[in-house]
């Protein structure tokens, strides 16, 4: 049984909060859109849950992988693909140092290693969830007129690993990001101010 050091866990949780202030840097190159790492991780986890259910994999393991996949970025920041051509980070060491003494090290690092080495169905699904969050953002930017989003979508689609991820991506590409709210209610809802007389 693990021994938990609540002081170390408190420090770790403050560090996790840094992800709300850590911007995803790829949007600098896309020219539009913005997101922080915490926002990205949240929707990635929801996508991971859905993909795991579709694939008959372990939803809890997949969701947890999605939640931790970028935890190390509280220390190393988010580096986009151009940054990575010139810079290297020791992501595992950053995560290990963040977890040191918390009592959480073994479980989280085992999942991180699986995710990095893509050893399980859940790690493949978590990888696809990460890409699908990007695809959703790119689809929105495409709808808003960013012509470069189409180029990015092509590369993101090629990175998908599972049939479930590919199937969901096809639906996302064919969707309009406003349909869920704009076309959802009866048209009278818009005309009569929220459906009221």
* pLDDT 10s digits, 80-123: 889 999 999 999 999 999 999 999 999 999 999 999 999 999 99
Picking from 102, 124, 104, the residue whose alpha carbon sits closest to that of residue 115 is: 124
* Confidence tier at 191 by pLDDT (50, 70, 90): confident
Distance CA 141, CA 138 (A): 5
H-helix or E-strand containing 95?
Answer: helix 91-99
* Confidence tier at 194 by pLDDT (50, 70, 90): low
Distance CA 15, CA 176 (A): 36
Distance CA 155, CA 147 (A): 14
* Half-sphere exposure for 87 (CA within 13 Å, toward CB): 12
Fold for the domain defined by 6-191: Hypothetical protein af1432 (1.10.3210)
Distance CA 103, CA 56 (A): 30
Domain ranges of the chain: 6-191
Buried b (16+ CB within 10 A) or exposed e, 20-42: eebebebeeebeebebbbbbbbe
pTM for this entry: 0.93
């Amino acid at each position: 049984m693990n021994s938990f050091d609540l002081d170390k866990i408190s420090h770790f949780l403050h560090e996790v909060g840094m992800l709300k202030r850590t911007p995803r840097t790829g949007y600098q190159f896309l020219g539009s859109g913005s997101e922080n790492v915490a926002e990205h991780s949240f929707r990635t986890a929801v996508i991971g849950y859905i993909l795991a259910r579709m694939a008959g994999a372990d939803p809890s393991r997949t969701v947890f992988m999605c939640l931790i996949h970028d935890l190390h970025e509280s220390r190393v920041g988010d580096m986009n693909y151009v940054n990575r051509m010139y810079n290297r980070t020791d992501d595992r060491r950053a995560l290990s140092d963040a977890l040191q003494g918390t009592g959480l090290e073994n479980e989280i690092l085992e999942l991180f290693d699986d995710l990095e080495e893509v050893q399980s169905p859940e790690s493949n699904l978590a990888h696809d969830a990460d890409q699908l969050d990007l695809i959703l953002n790119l689809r929105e930017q495409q709808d808003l007129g960013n012509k470069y989003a189409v180029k990015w979508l092509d590369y993101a689609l090629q990175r998908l690993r599972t049939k479930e991820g590919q199937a969901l991506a096809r639906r996302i590409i064919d969707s309009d990001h406003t349909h869920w709210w704009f076309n959802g209610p009866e048209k009278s809802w818009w005309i009569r101010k929220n459906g009221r007389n």
